[in-house]
Structure 1
Amino acid sequence: MPALILFIKNPIPGQTKTRLAAEVGNEMALKMYHVLTDWTRQQALGLANAERYLYYSSEITVGDKWPETDFHKRLQHGPGLGERMENAFAEVFAAGHHRAIIIGSDCPGITTAYLETAFAALQDHDLVIGPALDGGYTLLGLRQPAPELFKNMAWSTTEVLPTTLARAAAAGLSVKQLPPLSDVDYLADWQHYGWPMPE
């Protein structure tokens, strides 16, 4: 059975969606983050045939909106994003999964259907990637560990996607790119999806 890895940040005012908070304030940014995580959770639960792994940023929370019956709860570990992603992939592959996809929790464009398309692409591609409009990616899927994709990456820059694709090509990995999506880092990104502001 394939594995879906979800990375979320523990919702702490002032430390959650900081670029968004600079425009709307910490309290509203936190409310918007909860809307985004609620959406992501529903899309993940829509998958009929995948095991779900939820990786918290700083501490595992029991009894929150993420049911322990539906999500294996883990803690991200590593000094930076690349190491944390690499380690998460290593853990699920070690658990016996042969296809794994990682997503964050701030992209309303990631639907159950988008996830299903990504898993299907891994049937005959080594790597599937969902490009982000800002030059990064919103989804990455693998059939085996590929640590070279995560080391010494300039995260949160426009170089993430082209560098990842170049490294995949150098490693001889076959790649499927999905339609590009926008994640929500700024108020304009939120408005792009036509969502109302939270009460």
Structure 2
Amino acid sequence: MATAPLTLVVMARWPAPGRCKSRLARQTGRWSAAQVQRRLTQHSLQVGGSWSQRHGHSLEVAVDGLGPRGLRRWQQELRPLAPGARLSAQGGGSLGCRMQRQLQRAFQGGAERVLVIGTDLPGLETQDLEAAAEALLSAPLVIGPACDGGYWLMGLNRAGFQRAGAHLMSGIPWGTSQVLQSSLAAAAQRALPVQLLREQNDLDEGQDLENWWRCQLPPP
């Protein structure tokens, strides 16, 4: 039996010194922080790209910090990691506005399920994406909690997006420890059931980097 078409959106930032990982850069320096960002982005695209290709899903990479020419150059560079990926600009506004824009674009393009992830997850595995995609066949909203009070994944099916999509992105205190709780409260206000995935740790601080050195990925 065919499953509902799915789009995986990776929210990425151009890994240039001084333009990414500002909290980490204060501890490691801008160049080192940019190298960490590059490695994490590669990992996310390798995991997301292989999983998307295996299942025939669409892969969109929404980039912050690059113009049209830069996007074309980076797409060529990333092609070996994620051959089917399409790169586009995130556009302006808050993180909520940019995520909403990507969700809207994916559903207008024919997707029935959309997963949105970032590039700060050294522990991301294909099983995580599989669990989220499976959950959206029955639940309208799926969220992957992060240890810092945010989330590392949000997924919606078409019914969930039509019912509460914009409200899940509005009024959220992005960049704080209240992101997850505020998002769950917004879903509750719309009586939207939520399925939670396993908790993971974003790599944002120096201590997170030390933990990364102990995981399976080699240090940058």
How high is the sequence identity, in percent, across the aligned residues? 32
Unaligned runs of 5+ in 2: none
- Name the residue aligned to 1:76: 90
- Name the residue aligned to 2:78: 66
Per-residue Cα deviation, 1:106-145 (whole angstroms, up to 9, x for no partner): 1112211111111111011000000000000000000132
TM-score (norm 2): 0.86
Within a 5 Å distance, the mapping from 1:102-181 to structure 2 comes to 102-144=116-158, 145=161, 146-181=165-200
4+ residue runs of structure 1 moved beyond 3 angstroms? none
1:58 is displaced (CA, Å) by: 2.8
The CA distance in 1 between the partners of 2:32 and 2:39, in whole Å, is: 11
- Name the residue aligned to 1:191: 210
Give the root-mean-square deviation of aligned CA atoms: 1.4
* 2:100 paired with 1:86: yes
Does the 8 Å CA contact 1:128/1:175 hold for their aligned counterparts? yes
Unaligned runs of 5+ in 1: none
Q: In the alignment, residue 55 of structure 1 is paired with which amino acid?
A: A
More helix by share: 2
Q: Which moved more, 1:23-32 or 1:61-70?
A: 61-70
- Name the residue aligned to 2:18: 14
The CA distance in 2 between the partners of 1:35 and 1:4, in whole Å, is: 19
Q: In the alignment, residue 46 of structure 1 is paired with which amino acid?
A: S
1:36 is displaced (CA, Å) by: 0.6
The CA distance in 1 between the partners of 2:45 and 2:111, in whole Å, is: 21
TM-score (norm 1): 0.94
